[in-house]
Amino acid sequence: LDCSSSMSYQLPTVAGIARAFATSMRQAGAVQSLAFGDTVQESGDFAQVADMGGTSTDKAIVQATRWLATRPGQRWIVLITDGCPANPPATDDACRRAAALGIRILAIGLQCTIRMAAATIAVLVLANSAWLAHAVSRLEGRGPLMLATVFHQAGAVIWMGGLMHLA
């Protein structure tokens, strides 16, 4: 999570969204939550975040890559930021090194609204919960079953949200 000075006005909201995402991802496996600015530090799922100065995106990617390098399975870095890295060439290099190890990077840019960021993360949480469903254990026909599971869970979310408005 980018905790640079430019994020300070939206940091509490974004940290709450990131905390919910990190917590839900723990159902699928190990998660490391990093906050970065001029430096990078482990965050404890973003329970407490503060302005950390600049935007050293490259340092965050390098630290996350080190942690993920020896872990089995699918490995992802989810990067939430609002702007350009302080050192674009170093950030590009860090991304290439992660990709060479089979680590995927999903960058969520907050030049959009907080609602768009929340919607993006909600879709990721929905996909994660579908991946944990029993449909994934099937060897044949997994795609259609996963799609049906996603639609089923999305429908349940919409239905539950509608019930809340009736109360």
Q: How many CB atoms lie within 10 A of CB 59?
A: 22
Structure confidence by residue, pLDDT tens digits, 101-154 = 998 888 887 765 555 555 656 666 666 666 566 555 666 666 677 667 767 777
Question: Residue 28 and residue 71: Cα distance in Å, rounded?
Answer: 13
DSSP 3-state helix, strand, coil percentages of the chain (rounded to 5)?
Answer: 55, 10, 35
| pLDDT in the model for residue 160 | 59
pLDDT digits (tens, 9 = 90+) for 29-45: 888 999 999 999 998 87
Whole-number Å distance between alpha carbons of 142 and 144: 6
Contact 13, 49 (CB under 8 A): no
